[in-house]
Amino acid sequence: MARAGRAGPWSAVPGQDGRRFVVTGANSGVGLETARTLAQRGAHVVLACRNADKGAAAARDIGRVDGSVEVRVLDVSDLSSVRRFADEVGAVDVLVNNAGILGVPFTRSVDGVELQLATNHLGHFALANLLLPRLTDRVVVVSSQSHRHGDLRLDDLDWQQRGYSPYGAYGASKLATMLFLAELQRRLTAAGSTLRATGAHPGSTATSITSSSGDGWFAWVGSWGHGLVGMKPAQGALPTLYAATMDVPGNTYVGPHRLREMNGWPTGVGRSRAALDPDLAKALWVRSEELSGVTWPL
């Protein structure tokens, strides 16, 4: 895999003429920069955003490109919104599951699921399965180094048997994304599908995600810390772009190459022991089908 070193850092996203991408959470941060670069390289990019006005502002920010962009409303925490989007979006080459929230107080989604799990995992699980019959290439799962600290308890996904931890719940939701990545690829391989699932994380990137917590102090510290040691969003998007456009095997996981994967250039990276647990991945899949009402389509 290309990375920093003698060959130099990778940033040469190949041409994407004629290809159609969906990027969730594309109105800011890593999602916006992922969409911008894909459109600059000739792709048609669907900016899947919860807020139509912010999506429109993002489209204006991207401006004139060799490809094109369109805005469609999608709230991944709301399964009815996910189904509506999937019904209307049409054929897609690559789905980039990027949208996420971090460290919010305990809240349930409109479907009654703990909000971070609903947003970061369950909605994307449903979206990917609904779109699989119309995908031509791959699903990209955007995760986080925080998955390494995740404690995912399938008998207590809504944190009723233990005290709720905003950041513990975030880690658990990101562990769920990693397990989804592995199990999705296992199922694709078993089905003889040519589709693939890949994953990425942006390391420490200066985005506004900490502001979703509603904790002003945490948001300020997070923004300051990422600004001090992290990357600008355009560089933080490179692992996602690598996972979305390069010819890598299914279940490849990409992140920054240096300083404990906090910054650098895209390279293959490892994952936690829990993220490699096939039994946990299969059990989470079953539970996710139960919670979402969306089942394996292939």
What is the tens place of the pLDDT at every residue in 165-223? Answer: 999 999 999 999 999 999 999 999 999 999 999 999 998 766 554 445 455 544 434 45
How many domains does the chain divide into?
1
Which residues are marked as active site? 170
- How far is Cα 63 from Cα 287, in angstroms, rounded to an integer? 42
Domain CATH number, residue 76: 3.40.50.720
Q: Is residue 31 part of a domain?
A: yes
Tokens found for residue 111: 């479907």
Q: Is residue 252 a contact partner of residue 199, using CB atoms and an 8 Å limit?
A: yes
Exposed, middle or buried by CB within 10 Å (0-12, 13-18, 19+), for 142? buried
Q: Is residue 143 part of a domain?
A: yes
- How far is Cα 286 from Cα 246, in angstroms, rounded to an integer? 30
Q: Is residue 10 part of a domain?
A: no
Q: Is residue 6 part of a domain?
A: no
Q: Is residue 13 part of a domain?
A: no
Q: Is residue 187 part of a domain?
A: yes
Closest by CA to 154, choosing from 122, 187, 195, is: 122
pLDDT at position 211, please?
47
Q: Is residue 51 part of a domain?
A: yes
- pLDDT, one tens digit for every residue, the chain (298 residues): 765 444 468 889 999 999 999 999 999 999 999 999 999 999 999 999 999 999 999 999 999 999 999 999 999 999 999 999 999 999 999 999 999 999 999 999 999 999 999 999 999 999 999 999 999 999 999 999 999 999 999 999 999 999 999 999 999 999 999 999 999 999 999 999 999 999 999 987 665 544 454 555 444 344 544 455 567 889 999 999 999 999 999 999 999 987 776 888 999 999 999 999 999 999 999 999 999 999 999 9
> What is the span of the domain harbouring residue 129?
20-292
Between the CA of residue 116 and those of 82, 170, 178, 263, what are the distances in Å?
16, 6, 15, 25
Q: Is residue 195 part of a domain?
A: yes
Give the 3-state secondary structure of residue 120.
helix
pTM over 0.95: no
Q: Is residue 74 a contact partner of residue 81, using CB atoms and an 8 Å limit?
A: yes
